[in-house]
């Protein structure tokens, strides 16, 4: 099986997917997509990232939506190679109407794993239920705090794009210059709109601090990770979302004003141990 991950360096959904692959030691090719031109994805009708392609026996499948990608590949591992096409059928999409009144396709069970084993399939299993609920929280709430914080001011937006471009394959190219300047301006403006859309505090750092502390309080003093002695999918998802801020002002502020530092670096080390390499924003395999 050949797996390729098409991703942006600055996308928390992409880092979440990449961290999952590394945490499980799954070999994959990491393909950085230019955030404006997207020529790397010209083969697909789907133009959003992350996109994972799985090639086996000459057949290529496209997996979309970071949480669905994680659930499908986790279910594939659990079921010892169950056909991925069959797994996809067990994650049906349905039409839902959002708060804005617009209809969209959604996979309602995308945070759950598929298994014929009762202890994994039943909603009464407390560990699996907790894992699914916090994975949903990471997608439904935490991720929406990232852009307003990373791109809070134009200076921070430029800092983020400058750092990420330098770590990626577009460094020193005209594509990198375009991404850095146009991207930072665009995301600075988008961050302002997102702050209003999600009704965040005028000081968006406060919402981020509260979210990080809520996470560590939920883990409690009796566990190292949400998964107990080792990270589960909720740990990997929350870490993946937060890791996009690493080495930026927003990240330093979070480490200073919350209790998340110990958990963060223990999770990072656990992922590195399984992935067999140092984890950073330019990780490729």
What per-residue confidence (pLDDT) applies to 188? 85
Buried b (16+ CB within 10 A) or exposed e, 90-105: ebeeeeeeeeeeeeee
Mean pLDDT, the chain cut into blocks of 10 residues (285 residues total): 89 94 93 84 88 91 95 90 86 85 87 74 73 96 94 88 74 76 83 90 96 97 93 97 94 97 96 65 33
pTM of the model: 0.87
Whether residue 281 lies inside any domain: the answer is no
163 is catalytic: no
DSSP letter, residue 50: -
Q: Print the domain residue range for 72.
A: 2-274
Only one residue has tokens 């797996």, namely 3
What per-residue confidence (pLDDT) applies to 216? 97
Q: Which of 280, 278, 274 is nearest to 232 (CA)?
A: 274
What per-residue confidence (pLDDT) applies to 144? 95
Number of domains in the chain: 1
Which entry of 6, 8, 158, 239 is annotated as an active-site residue? 8
Cβ-in-10-Å burial (0-12, 13-18, 19+) of 217 comes to: exposed
CATH code for the domain in which residue 213 is found: 1.20.1050.10
Whether residue 208 lies inside any domain: the answer is yes
19 is catalytic: no
**Which residues lie below 8 Å from residue 77, measured CB to CB, with a gap of 6+?**
24
Taking residue 42's Cβ as centre, other Cβ atoms within 10 Å add up to: 8
Which entry of 13, 20, 158, 170 is annotated as an active-site residue? 13
% helix / strand / coil in the chain, to the nearest 5? Answer: 55, 10, 35
14 is catalytic: yes
8 is catalytic: yes
Which entry of 6, 11, 212, 264 is annotated as an active-site residue? 11
């Amino acid at each position: 099986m050949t797996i390729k991950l098409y991703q942006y360096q600055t996308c928390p959904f992409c880092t979440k997917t990449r961290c999952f692959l590394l945490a499980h030691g799954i070999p994959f090719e990491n393909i950085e997509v230019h955030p404006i031109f997207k020529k790397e994805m010209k083969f697909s009708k789907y133009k959003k990232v992350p996109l994972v392609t799985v090639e086996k026996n000459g057949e290529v499948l496209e997996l979309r939506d970071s949480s669905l990608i994680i659930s499908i590949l986790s279910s594939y591992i659990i079921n010892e190679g169950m056909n991925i096409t069959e797994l996809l059928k067990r994650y049906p999409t349905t039409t839902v109407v959002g708060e804005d009144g617009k209809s969209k396709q959604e996979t309602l069970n995308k945070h759950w794993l598929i298994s014929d084993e009762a202890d994994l399939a039943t909603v009464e299993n407390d560990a699996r239920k907790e894992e699914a609920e916090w994975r949903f929280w990471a997608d439904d709430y935490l991720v929406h705090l990232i852009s307003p914080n990373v791109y809070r001011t134009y200076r921070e937006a430029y800092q983020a794009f400058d750092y990420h471009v330098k770590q990626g394959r577009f460094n020193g190219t005209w594509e990198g210059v375009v991404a850095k300047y146009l991207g930072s301006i665009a995301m600075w403006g988008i961050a302002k709109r997102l702050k209003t859309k999600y009704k965040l505090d005028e000081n968006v750092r406060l919402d981020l601090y509260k979210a990080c502390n809520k996470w560590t309080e939920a883990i409690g003093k009796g566990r190292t990770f949400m998964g107990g002695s080792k990270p589960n999918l909720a740990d990997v998802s929350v870490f993946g979302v937060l890791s996009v801020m690493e080495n930026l002002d927003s990240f330093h502020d979070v480490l200073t004003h919350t209790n998340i530092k110990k958990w963060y670096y223990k999770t990072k080390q656990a992922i590195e141990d399984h992935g067999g390499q140092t984890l950073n924003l330019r990780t490729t395999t």
